[in-house]
Structure 1
């Protein structure tokens, strides 16, 4: 009988964290309903919608990090949570990107004007920083043993490889994810959400222990703001520049290089 009692505090902490994450999702969903009913200015609507989406993503990821520090009964438990909440975000955050790289991709492909892109980027950065301070205030309440206010004031460096490898990992993750995002547009929505959630889980599994596999500059800023303060250049290169390079290389490959290669191959056949 002692073993179940010993496990109960862990289960209680896990349930509290999961409850907080699901409450955040529900509260943001309610805020979006109110937004659609009472806000009719297009620019303000776009800003608030992107802000809420980024806020939700960052808050849930903050709490996922707390859960990953616990000792689960099964090692795949954190990955299961990544998959589940990727599905939740995919279902609830339709029409938003919550990622500056996604905005950059749309602007470079001509699917979004620079003005709308700037508004979305500003909303994402605001949501990322707002989520950080909100979670810091929540952790100060000490709802679980892992909720301590000191988490907000310490740098937990997720980079465990040298700088060139970290750049390659984050750029590759960004390249793969946004390539899938671009080419899964024709897939049925229900299947596409599952495919993207599985891909995110795989990328987190493959690169999570090396760089965190974040491939989202706004999310990285929210999660590791203190690290940006202490080692700005390193974190700027790994979490802002590297994902942007991944996006750029992806667009160059699929929009220019591969069509050029196809045209040359067709021309050679005709000759």
Structure 2
């Protein structure tokens, strides 16, 4: 029984963090409803929705990262939260990507105009920076004992390997995730969301040497100070590598596999 008083503050802090994340989801949901009702110009509408989606994704990931750091000895809990909030994002952010790589993929496949792509990309990057400062403001409130803005302002290098391995990890994670995103388009929505959430959880576990971000906007929000201190390294790992993964994925599905199929058909 003596362990209970010491355990309760930890549980209370965890519940507070979860409540904060769900409050952000609710706030973004209200913002999305308002944007749909008030913004009728396609570009303004797209900018607002993409801004809100990226904001939700970044803020929740900041808090998830904080929770995982407090309980690093039990990764199962962290992975469960990643799966749960991946489901939440999938259900609440329909029609947006919150990821510049997703926008690039649609542009390369001809599913989005360059003008719309530029608007969405700029929205994501602006939102990534705004979310960082919003999280700092929230942590300044001291809602839990782990909330203090200095934690968010410091650079904690998440790369736990040499540069080539980190580049390959981010490129492969981006390749796998966006390949699945492309192939799961015909799958029923509810099942697709669960499949993608499970895949994100797996990639977060398998790609732990870099954090398996495979999202340049999210990386900018999470590791902004590291970009400032070691820009080239972080640009290559978190921006260039996921983009290369996207390019390889498109080359494979749009050119290599059709070419292989045509060659096999001719031989038969």
What TM bracket, shorter-length normalisation?
over 0.9
Counterpart-to-counterpart distance in 2, 1:20 and 1:152: 16
Shift of 1:191: 0.3
Counterpart-to-counterpart distance in 2, 1:262 and 1:39: 45
Residue 139 in structure 1 maps to residue 139 in structure 2? yes
Task: State how 1:157-176 maps to structure 2 within 5 Å.
Answer: 157-176=157-176
Whether the 8 Å CA contact 1:10–1:70 is kept in 2: the answer is no
Deviation per CA, 1:88-122: give whole Å up to 9, x if none.
Answer: 00000000010000000000000000000000000
Residue 91 in structure 1 maps to residue 58 in structure 2? no
Counterpart-to-counterpart distance in 1, 2:73 and 2:239: 35
Whether the 8 Å CA contact 2:57–2:89 is kept in 1: the answer is yes
Task: State how 1:112-131 maps to structure 2 within 5 Å.
Answer: 112-131=112-131
Counterpart-to-counterpart distance in 2, 1:169 and 1:72: 21
Whether the 8 Å CA contact 2:68–2:75 is kept in 1: the answer is no
**Paired position in structure 2 for 1:178:** 178
Deviating more after overlay: 148-157 vs 55-64: 148-157
Task: State how 1:170-209 maps to structure 2 within 5 Å.
Answer: 170-208=170-208
Shift of 1:216: 0.2
Deviating more after overlay: 88-97 vs 73-82: 73-82
Which secondary structure state, in structure 2, belongs to the residue aligned with residue 202 of structure 1?
helix
Residues 72 and 151 (structure 1), Cα distance of their counterparts in 2 relative to 1, 3 Å cut:
closer
Query: Any gaps of 5 or more consecutive residues in structure 2?
Result: none
Q: Which runs of 4+ in 1 moved over 3 A?
A: 72-75
Task: State how 1:61-100 maps to structure 2 within 5 Å.
Answer: 61-71=61-71, 74-100=74-100
Count of residue correspondences:
268
**Paired position in structure 2 for 1:153:** 153
**Paired position in structure 2 for 1:234:** 233
Deviating more after overlay: 188-197 vs 259-268: 259-268
Which secondary structure state, in structure 2, belongs to the residue aligned with residue 87 of structure 1?
helix
Counterpart-to-counterpart distance in 2, 1:38 and 1:45: 9
**Paired position in structure 2 for 1:34:** 34
Query: Any gaps of 5 or more consecutive residues in structure 1?
Result: none
Deviating more after overlay: 193-202 vs 26-35: 26-35
What is the TM-score normalised by the length of structure 1? Answer: 0.97
**Paired position in structure 1 for 2:107:** 107
